[in-house]
Structure 1
Amino acid sequence: MTDTSLISVASLGGGHGLYQTLKAVRLAGPANLTAIVTVADDGGSSGRLRRELNQIPPGDLRMALAALADDADTPQMWAQLLQHRFGGTGALAGHAVGNLLLAGLTELLGSEQQALDTVTSLTNSAGRVLPMALEPLEIEADVSGLADDPRVMNTVRGQVAVATTPGTVRRVRLIPERPRANPAAVEALRKADLITLGPGSWFSSVIPHLLVPELVEAINDSSAMVVVVLNLSAEAGETSGFNNERHLHMLFQHRSDLRIDRVLVDETVLGSDTDRRYLERAAANLGAGVVYADLRAQGESGELLDIHDPEKLSAALKRVYRGS
């Protein structure tokens, strides 16, 4: 790239992983920032609203809105309000304010996207939030280790069930299969200078984007630099026991034609040169190089945490994009 100014960024994911990425990317100050968010959640407040109102589950979308809310004049007010959950034991117990706000605006305006754009305007957001598809989706997984014979595959259905399975997830699918992408998400990917994928729950927040054909086609057709941000550790449940290399193998297994330019990994994750060689070989299968950087947040006592530090991640993404 001859021009190293970061104009447009599209970040794909969901949940806490996407939240941290968006906090990092907004620090880089792009002119346009778009969050492209999974829509398969079926648990908690999101699951209840999905079932009762037949709407796209709002939870991951709400978290993205909270990450991008501008609280310069009222520190953290919008972010805290969107994330606030009602207590007690009544009908509202467990619901997040942001989920209810999105559900109400969707009924009022007749469109989930209009509801999201309205909250974006209310919060003077640093970017736009787009569902990856305009219909609620379900995740179905092939899981081993649930039967006495480890070779037997069982089918597990639902985002919560997949995320918490005690077995080993081998492959995931979306229902309906090959869903139509949100056209606005396709457009954002095609126009992006930088596209990020991950970190996050690998099978329920990251890989689902690769199961929407139009999204992968848009990524591959774009001139953007595509960066996969790896998790700091395996998650209990769906990726228990996975190393970094296996995370990349799962991307390749689900969409071997995905174009990736760089894999960004915390420099403390891999303990040996051999581990690095294995990771670099897995990245090469996807056409990518590996970049190591200090990405972990630190606790008050200086201990390293299993969460990305937004300032460190922002600086690393800028260095990767500029090729320095």
Structure 2
Amino acid sequence: MVAMGGGHGLSATLQALRHITEAITAVVTVADDGGSSGRLREQFDILPPGDLRMALAALCEDTSWGHQWSAVLQHRFRGHGELGGHALGNLLITALWDLIPDQQVRGLDLVGRLLNTRGRVLPMSLVPLDIEASVLVPDDMGEGAEIIVRGQSRVARHSGKVETVRLTPQAPPACPEALESIKLADFVVLGPGSWFTSVMPHLLVPELLRALRDTPASRILTLNVSLTDDEASGYTVAEHVHAVVNHAPGLTFDHVIADPQVVRTDAERAALEAAVEQLGAALVVTTVAKMGAPGVHDTLRLAAAFRDIMAVTR
């Protein structure tokens, strides 16, 4: 299994997949420029470690040792001093990269060995990336005006409607180990997560997109269970699927997973079915949201959805 994304969305996918297999590779976005990751990226000229840390924590073994180390990795220092706001796992990853320069994958593998993770975590590219978005905002006349927003943290917080995203540099090199994992996978899962800053960036790395098109693996697109964050402002899930079509022409999927609460009307369902058809995929509408936690996937329900798809595929 290969899971692609970043942040809490990727973490949910990884925790779900752990109920199915231990042969998991996470391919993680490296465009974060805010918070602890942004500070370390700027100070040490490294890949932002935050999303990589979260993926490692999600793959910690299900034992007291794994739970303890997951908590240690995620521990964030309080206060306003030099350490304030930094996650310990970010500092650990930064230290390893400082000790073994230009060997980012080996450093992440060493963290995985320390934590006894069930799977492997890889960056999607070995160079830090920046995100630039064309965002539609209302002008003084109430009409739509397009502006350019630069930086992952700014795009994620902007209240306008994201039209397109692109990366700087425009054609970054993909991590070779990530390309190999996609080539050898039985299943590749993209999403959920912040759609334009965690999910779409994978489709903007030419080598990754080519690997996704060429892999014999079954491809699964997992949609979000909420459309209330700033980045999803003004979008429907059908438009999220259209964004995939527009940013990655020619890429097809086998299955698209959607929760019923984001397709509540017949019109929403019809629009989503039409969008999914453009991807050449089968739509799977099943409950994967966590009760009482808006916007959060239930990892057991998501695991069941993955398992059902795999059973049909086999």
Structure 1 residue 137 and structure 2 residue 126: aligned? no
Match of 1:285 among 271, 275, 278: 278
**Which amino acid in structure 1 is aligned with residue 135 of structure 2?**
V
Q: Distance in 2 between matches of 1:275 and 1:226?
A: 23
Structure 1 residue 93 and structure 2 residue 93: aligned? no
Partner secondary structure for residue 196 of structure 1? strand
Is the CA contact 2:138–2:144 (under 8 Å) kept in the aligned structure 1? no
For residue 4 of structure 1, what is the aligned residue in structure 2? none
**Which amino acid in structure 1 is aligned with residue 227 of structure 2?**
A
Is the CA contact 2:60–2:66 (under 8 Å) kept in the aligned structure 1? no
Q: How far 1:233 moved relative to its partner?
A: 1.0
Q: How far 1:148 moved relative to its partner?
A: 2.8
For residue 152 of structure 1, what is the aligned residue in structure 2? 145
The more displaced of 71-80 and 314-323 is 71-80
Structure 1 residue 105 and structure 2 residue 96: aligned? yes
Q: Distance in 1 between matches of 2:157 and 2:266?
A: 32
Is the CA contact 1:71–1:79 (under 8 Å) kept in the aligned structure 2? no
Partner secondary structure for residue 152 of structure 1? strand
Q: How far 1:268 moved relative to its partner?
A: 3.0
Match of 2:234 among 234, 238, 241: 241
**Which amino acid in structure 2 is aligned with residue 20 of structure 1?**
A
> Scaled by the length of structure 2, what TM-score is found?
0.96
Q: Distance in 2 between matches of 1:221 and 1:260?
A: 12
For residue 20 of structure 1, what is the aligned residue in structure 2? 12
Percent identity, aligned pairs only, is 46
Match of 2:304 among 311, 315, 319: 315
Structure 1 residue 116 and structure 2 residue 112: aligned? no
Is the CA contact 2:161–2:235 (under 8 Å) kept in the aligned structure 1? no
For residue 5 of structure 1, what is the aligned residue in structure 2? none
For residue 261 of structure 1, what is the aligned residue in structure 2? 254
Is the CA contact 2:66–2:116 (under 8 Å) kept in the aligned structure 1? no
For residue 6 of structure 1, what is the aligned residue in structure 2? none
1:98-123 deviations in Å (ceiling 9; x for gaps): 00000000000112211100001111
Q: Distance in 2 between matches of 1:235 and 1:106?
A: 37
Cα gap change, 1:319/1:287 in structure 2, threshold over 3 Å: closer, same or farther?
same
Q: How far 1:267 moved relative to its partner?
A: 2.4
Q: Distance in 1 between matches of 2:137 and 2:91?
A: 38
Structure (1 or 2) with the greater helix fraction: 2
Is the CA contact 2:11–2:55 (under 8 Å) kept in the aligned structure 1? yes
1:1-324 to 2 correspondences below 5 Å: 9-30=1-22, 32-74=23-65, 76-110=67-101, 111-145=103-137, 147-148=139-140, 150-298=143-291, 303=292, 305-323=294-312
Is the CA contact 2:37–2:49 (under 8 Å) kept in the aligned structure 1? yes
1:212-241 deviations in Å (ceiling 9; x for gaps): 111111111111110000000114222112
How many residues align? The count is 311
1:266-321 deviations in Å (ceiling 9; x for gaps): 123211223212101100111111001121112xxxx3632111111011101012
Q: Distance in 2 between matches of 1:233 and 1:174?
A: 25
1:14-68 deviations in Å (ceiling 9; x for gaps): 00000000000011124x2100000000000000000000000000000000000
Partner secondary structure for residue 148 of structure 1? coil
Is the CA contact 1:256–1:286 (under 8 Å) kept in the aligned structure 2? no
Q: How far 1:186 moved relative to its partner?
A: 0.5
Q: How far 1:206 moved relative to its partner?
A: 0.2
Partner secondary structure for residue 155 of structure 1? strand
> Scaled by the length of structure 1, what TM-score is found?
0.93
